[in-house]
Amino acid sequence: MKQKKDINVNQLTLFHDEEKDDFLEMNAPEAIDKLKIIVPPIKCQGIKTKLVPFIVDNVKRDEDGLWIEPFVGTGVVAFNVAPKRAILADKNQYIISLYQEFQNGHITPNNVREFLEYHGHILEQRGNAYYREMREAFNRNRNPLYFLFLNRADFNGMIRFNKSGQFNVPFCQKPDRFSKAYITKICNQVTKVISVMRGKDWKFICCPWQTTFTYATSKDYIYIDPPYIGRDTSYVGEWPEEEATALADYSHKTPANVCLSMWKENKFRRNDHLYDHWSDFTWVEQDHFYHFGAKETNRHPMIEVLAIKR
């Protein structure tokens, strides 16, 4: 049984993602009310949940303009900025499909609950063997509900595909993962995300990041949260330095306002790409802790930068 942490909610920025989730589960009503952050139902490493207040406070945009995200990921920034009009793009077709299904009403909190309760019960009985069956089924059917199940039952909330395009993240080794409270938490997240989308002109599209720039005008705002340079995330494939350099070039040439979210440095190294290609943008900084790596020794605090074209 998890022990309740005696900690002020303002200290959550010091936690790793899993520790923060544990705290919110134990103290959900009060903590979520104080944070006022919409947490998406999809998890991934490097999610910007803890940085949302920092990002929202520094985004100055035309409310009638188009909000564009070439790397929407979990959507946590878009859901909390909540623009009237948006192009939310990603090369990961499964995240895009899930949010499209939320938007068109094909996936609801009710059928999410039914799916997770049914398959969660079998997972509790059969553990890793059933997780692997569900993973194999998803690699055949590409069903968004299977994707959601795997994302919430796999190791460390990872999203990873092999070179053949097969989801290959191992099980989290928690057969009782889908408790009643945990399923309710996920369904509440789905409800809030659907509520934010309602009545808004949002388009979720699966496309290369370059395509999103073609929509931009001088009234619009492009928020960019790209992968690490040279790191094969297996999320959508490698992100080489030449592609990162091209992104910087596009960002300078577009008539739209641009905000890049990127790490600046930690005690071991600094991000030379940021200095070489984004130094003419306005930088605002905040300490942050990325939840990368399976071992605690591989995780280190760093400085996060918003590089903003004014």
Single residue among 189, 216, 250 that ends a domain in this structure: 189
Residue at 80 is within a domain: yes
**Number of structural domains found in the chain:** 2
Single residue among 189, 219, 254 that ends a domain in this structure: 189
Rounded to two decimals, what is the model's pTM? 0.85
Residue at 291 is within a domain: yes
pLDDT, tens digit, 9 for 90 and up, residues 129-181: 999 999 999 999 999 999 999 999 999 889 999 989 999 999 999 999 999 99
Residue 47 to residue 291: CA distance in whole angstroms: 9
What is residue 160's three-state secondary structure?
Answer: coil
Q: At what angle do helices 180-197 and 109-126 cross, to 10 degrees?
A: 150
Residue 36's pLDDT is what?
81
Residue at 278 is within a domain: yes
Instruction: Quote the percentage of the chain above a pLDDT of 90.
Output: 72
Task: Find the distance separating the first CA and the last CA of the chain, reported in whole Å.
Answer: 50
Residue 156 to residue 4: CA distance in whole angstroms: 21
Query: Same domain, yes or no, for 304 and 212?
Result: yes
Query: Same domain, yes or no, for 237 and 303?
Result: yes
pLDDT, tens digit, 9 for 90 and up, residues 17-72: 444 454 444 444 444 445 689 999 999 877 788 899 999 999 999 999 999 999 99
The burial of 141, by beta-carbon neighbours within 10 Å (0-12 exposed, 13-18 middle, 19 or more buried), is given as exposed
Cβ neighbors of 131 (< 8 A, separation 6 or more) are 123, 150, 153, 154, 171
Query: Same domain, yes or no, for 288 and 220?
Result: yes
Mean pLDDT of 237-246: 85
Evaluate if residue 208 carries a pLDDT over 50. Answer: yes
In the block, residue with structure tokens 């949302």: 52
Residue at 62 is within a domain: yes
Whichever domain contains 75, its CATH number is: 3.40.50.150
Average predicted confidence (pLDDT) for the chain: 86
More confident residue, 249 or 288: 249
Residue 116 near residue 144 (C-beta atoms within 8 A) = no
Measured CA to CA in angstroms, residue 84 lies from 35, 63, 64, 65 at distances of 22, 7, 7, 8
Residue 257's pLDDT is what?
97
Which ranges constitute the DSSP H helices of 36-104? Answer: 52-58, 76-81, 93-103
The burial of 1, by beta-carbon neighbours within 10 Å (0-12 exposed, 13-18 middle, 19 or more buried), is given as exposed
Whichever domain contains 121, its CATH number is: 1.10.1020.10
